[in-house]
């Protein structure tokens, strides 16, 4: 086990940067997929230390940010039901729906509780057998095993008052949507290490080959990111497009087989709408028929129509790497953490939140 300081060593960072400057001979545009990587890049100023030829843009790597408005509205409607205890991770409470958010619904009297694991929500259900307990199951492949385990345990224990509102999404289909767009300018990708820790790297190999884009599975500390960038640029400079593993201390080629088997038992692959991007085929997970009784959407039969994003919000373009947060006219003025127009401003992994925290351009009133 290495201490965190080992991956924030300034001397080693300068050595990597010097090597990158020697390696880079032409402009390259890279996308980091994970919001955790985005925050590290902005916090430590990594993008400002790179050779000027290397440009970093941010991808759809924040599960809170890509949860669609309609799903937020379903959560609000279910949470407002009498007799419901609605459990969620804390970073979902301030994410705006079409008219409100979970924080305001709680202030109006709904029983909305912050939990740190879906297993915490299971315990709430055990402790409150006369109440309906709903867990907001969002996330990428990283959270899917724990969410699947909660449903499995609920069925095993016969917890009939527990259900999940599922908004699980899958990274490779979203990445393919971005790479297949005629407007994309992405030449290399830093893939999210924690997703590959669960699922392995095999799903990225067809994408690297099809779109001739190197994909480097990368960690989240400054030295991880610098090494991932170096590996990606090295491929580009030498004309290669392969999947490589910078995060080898955690990620194995085939991922976590037991976690994958559990996901496959509980979930089925389905289309999912992504906030700011639209529906992507085969990009989500939903409860399979065997566990459909635990689906909160079916249990509460909430009808929510299509909803439009705020017209001045460019978060969809930010999530696709087309624009950066500080290029938005609303950034820091009509859009800020106290009054977010989109989820990217309030999520702990949102790109707009990272820019506002570490690089505020101007004061807001």
**Dihedral through CA 219, CA 151, CA 273, CA 187, nearest 10?**
20
Nearest to 148 by CA among 259, 299, 63, 263: 263
Return the higher-pLDDT residue of 357 and 1.
Answer: 357
Query: How far is 70 from 145, CA to CA, in rounded Å?
Result: 24
Same domain assignment for residues 143 and 47: yes
pLDDT digits (tens, 9 = 90+) for 72-90: 999 999 999 999 999 999 9
- The verdict on 80 and 104 lying in the same domain is yes
| Band (183; pLDDT cuts 50, 70, 90) | confident
More confident residue, 308 or 53: 53
- Residue 12 within any structural domain of the chain: no
Q: Which residue has the tokens 């300018």?
A: 185
Residue 212 pLDDT: 97
Q: What pLDDT is stored for residue 2 in this prediction?
A: 61
Q: Are residues 246 and 339 in the same domain?
A: no
Residue 176 lies inside a defined structural domain of this protein = yes
In a domain, 19, yes or no: no
pLDDT at 251 over 80: yes
pLDDT at 99 exceeding the cut of 70? yes
Residue 299, pLDDT > 80, answer yes
This prediction has a pTM of 0.92
Per-residue pLDDT, 365: 37
List, in sequence order, the alpha helices (H) in the chain: 10-23, 35-43, 46-49, 63-66, 69-79, 102-107, 118-127, 144-157, 171-180, 193-199, 205-211, 222-237, 257-266, 296-300, 315-319, 351-358
Claim to verify: residue 306 and residue 319 sit in the same structural domain: no
| Residue 348: predicted pLDDT | 85
d(CA 217, CA 196): 7
Sheet holding 84-88, edge to edge: 111-114, 84-88, 132-139, 162-169, 278-287, 267-274
Asked if the model's pLDDT at residue 303 lies above 80, the reply is: no
Strands 278-287, 267-274: pairing kind: antiparallel
pLDDT of the residue at 203:
96
User: Rounded mean pLDDT of 93-112?
Assistant: 92
The answer as to whether 365 is a domain residue is no
Question: Each residue of 11-39: pLDDT tens digit?
Answer: 999 999 999 999 999 999 999 999 999 99
Average confidence score pLDDT of the chain = 93
* Structural domain harbouring 336: 315-358
248 shares a domain with 134: yes
Tokens of 71: 């799903």
Domains identified in the chain, total number = 2
User: What pLDDT sits at residue 364?
Assistant: 38
Based on the fold, state whether residues 50 and 175 are members of the same structural domain: yes
Q: Tell me: do 141 and 233 sit in the same domain.
A: yes
pLDDT for 146-175, tens place per residue? 999 999 999 999 999 999 999 999 999 999
Structure token pair of residue 328: 């938005």
Is the pLDDT score of 312 beyond 80? yes
Tens digit of each residue's pLDDT (9 = 90 or more) over 121-143: 999 999 999 999 999 999 999 99
Q: At what angle do helices 351-358 and 35-43 cross, to 10 degrees?
A: 20
In sequence order, the 6+-apart residues with CB closer than 8 A to the CB of 104 are none
pLDDT at 363: 46
Under 8 Å CB-to-CB from 304, ≥6 apart: which residues? 70, 73, 74, 77
CA gap 108, 332 in Å, rounded: 28
Locate 66 and state its tokens. Answer: 């890509």
Question: Crossing angle, helix 35-43 and helix 222-237, to 10 degrees?
Answer: 100
Radius of gyration of the chain measured on its C-alpha atoms = 21
The structure tokens listed for 183 are 């407007």
Q: Are residues 187 and 93 in the same domain?
A: yes
DSSP 8-state code for residue 308: P
Residue 1 has a pLDDT of: 47
Q: Is the pLDDT of residue 269 over 80?
A: yes
Residue 136 sits in a domain of what CATH number? 3.40.50.11740
Could you tell me if 103 and 114 are in contact, meaning their C-beta atoms sit under 8 angstroms apart? no
């Amino acid at each position: 086990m290495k201490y965190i300081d080992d991956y924030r060593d300034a001397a080693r960072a300068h050595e990597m940067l010097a090597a990158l400057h020697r390696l880079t001979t032409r402009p390259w545009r890279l996308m980091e997929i994970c919001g955790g990587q985005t925050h590290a890049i902005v916090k430590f100023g990594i993008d400002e230390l790179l050779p000027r030829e290397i440009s970093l843009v941010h991808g759809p790597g924040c599960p809170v940010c890509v949860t669609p408005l309609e799903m937020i509205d379903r959560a609000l409607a279910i949470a407002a039901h009498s007799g419901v205890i609605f459990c969620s991770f804390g970073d979902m409470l301030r994410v705006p729906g079409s008219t409100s958010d979970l924080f305001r619904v709680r202030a109006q009297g709904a029983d909305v509780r912050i939990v740190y694991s879906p297993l915490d929500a299971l315990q709430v259900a055990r402790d409150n057998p006369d109440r309906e307990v709903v867990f907001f199951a969002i996330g990428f492949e990283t959270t899917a095993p724990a969410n699947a385990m909660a449903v499995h345990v609920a069925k095993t224990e016969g917890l009939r008052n527990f259900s999940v509102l599922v908004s699980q999404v899958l990274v490779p289909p979203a990445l393919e949507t971005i790479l297949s767009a005629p407007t994309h300018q992405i030449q290399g990708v830093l893939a999210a290490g924690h997703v590959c820790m669960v699922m392995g790297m095999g799903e990225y190999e067809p994408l690297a080959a099809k779109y001739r884009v190197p994909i480097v599975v990368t960690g989240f500390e400054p030295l991880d990111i610098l090494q991932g960038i170096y590996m990606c640029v090295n491929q580009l400079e030498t004309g290669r497009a392969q999947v490589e593993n910078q995060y080898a201390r955690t990620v194995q080629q085939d991922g976590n087989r037991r976690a994958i088997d559990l996901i496959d038992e509980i979930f089925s692959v389905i289309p999912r709408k992504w906030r700011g991007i639209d529906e992507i085929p085969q990009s989500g997970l939903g409860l399979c028929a065997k566990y459909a009784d635990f689906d909160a959407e079916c249990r509460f039969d909430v009808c929510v129509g299509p909803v439009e994003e705020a017209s001045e919000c460019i978060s969809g373009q930010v999530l696709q790497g087309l624009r950066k947060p500080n290029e938005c006219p609303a950034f820091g003025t009509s859009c800020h953490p106290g009054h977010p127009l989109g989820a990217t401003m309030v999520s702990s992994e949102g790109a707009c939140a990272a820019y506002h925290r570490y690089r505020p351009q101007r004061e807001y009133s």
